[in-house]
Amino acid sequence: MLNLLISFIKLHVIRKPRIQNQIAVITGFSPGNIGLYMCALTHKSLSGTARSGNTFNNERLEFLGDAILSAVIADHLFSEYPDCNEGFLTKMRSRMVSRHKLNAIAIKMGFDRIINLPGKAISTKKHIYGNALEAFIGAIYLDKGFSRSKQFIIEKILGNYLDLDQLVDEDSDFKSRIIQWGQKNKKQVSFENQELTGDGTPQPVFLAKIHITDLLAGEGTGATKKEAQQHAARQALENLPS
């Protein structure tokens, strides 16, 4: 109990001026209700339970920030890719807000230097910093409103740490995905390439076939071998058992 009291005093008195400056650097604006941000940066292991049953930690703010982040990302993707279907948008959003990616972004933003933890023994594999980033978004929402929290997400997170074109390319690399599937499931994946001729077209057309353990799994055509293989790999992935 005494340790919790000491941590509470350090959090609210000693660290307050430094935290205000660090928050301003991360967000680009001065915080209003500093207590919200300090709560967002407090791991549950350091929280003190009040008589009402509430705790001073970032779990509730994380819940709120997660919803806001997801909504802003969904809105952004909906506007950026008007011709893409729901499946593509869902995959892109999931990739952008994955636990691993958010944790990496939070560390790059400096959350590992300002979050209040009981010690250095806690592993980053638990995504503590990513959770704090989501809680931080929840704090911005409560302090400054939805417009400012959206601005923070678009400018500070998407603008600096998420490359949409790269994420699309990752999603479109069907050949790598089918090879990884084969390695994971201990299945031999092989490619067969053929140049189609005799149709009178000035540009060559390539045919690619994918075999999984000697069975034809997919085929596709394209202006290059790479394009044909991607089309064949996509068909093979669609034919895989779910």
Q: What is the model's pLDDT at position 84? A: 79
Q: What is the model's pLDDT at position 109? A: 93
Average pLDDT over residues 89-101: 87
* pLDDT-wise least confident of 57-61, 74-78, 237-241: 237-241
Q: Are strands 215-222 and 205-212 parallel, antiparallel or unpaired?
A: antiparallel
Average pLDDT over residues 56-63: 90
Nearest to 173 by CA among 229, 126, 128, 106: 229
Please tell me which of 45-54, 69-78, 120-129 the model is most confident about, judged by mean pLDDT: 69-78
- Sign of the C-alpha dihedral, residues 102, 106, 107, 112? negative
Q: Which residues contact 209 (CB under 8 A, 6 or more apart)?
A: 191, 192, 194, 216, 218, 219, 232
Phi and psi torsions of 240, nearest 5°: -70, 145
Dist CA 194 CA 204 (whole Å): 10
Dist CA 174 CA 43 (whole Å): 40
Parse the chain into domains and list their residue ranges: 2-163, 173-239
% of the chain beyond a pLDDT of 90: 37
* pLDDT-wise least confident of 112-121, 169-178, 189-198: 112-121
* pLDDT grade for 207, boundaries at 50, 70 and 90: very high
Place of tokens 């790269």: 166
Residues annotated as catalytic (active site), given as ranges: 66, 134
Is it the case that residue 106 has pLDDT exceeding 70? Answer: yes
pTM: 0.64
* pLDDT-wise least confident of 7-11, 95-99, 158-162: 7-11
* pLDDT grade for 100, boundaries at 50, 70 and 90: confident
> Would you say 36 and 142 are in contact if contact means Cβ atoms under 8 Å apart?
yes
Q: What is the model's pLDDT at position 161? A: 92
Q: What is the model's pLDDT at position 33? A: 92
Is it the case that residue 127 has pLDDT exceeding 70? Answer: yes
Per the rule left: phi > 0, alpha: psi between -120 and 50, beta: everything else, 4 is alpha
Dist CA 171 CA 183 (whole Å): 18
Q: What is the model's pLDDT at position 225? A: 87
Q: What is the model's pLDDT at position 227? A: 84
Nearest to 33 by CA among 138, 109, 133: 138
Helices (H) and strands (E) in the chain, counts: 13, 3
Average pLDDT over residues 32-47: 84
> Would you say 106 and 78 are in contact if contact means Cβ atoms under 8 Å apart?
no
Question: Does CATH number 3.30.160.20 belong to domain 173-239?
Answer: yes
Q: What is the model's pLDDT at position 157? A: 95
Burial of 23 (0-12, 13-18, 19+ CB in 10 A): buried
Average pLDDT over residues 52-77: 87
> Would you say 167 and 91 are in contact if contact means Cβ atoms under 8 Å apart?
no
Dist CA 70 CA 63 (whole Å): 11
Task: Kindly list the distances between the CA atom of residue 238 and the CA atoms of 59, 138, 234, in Å, as whole numbers in the listed order.
Answer: 39, 38, 6
What is the CATH class of 2-163?
Answer: mainly alpha
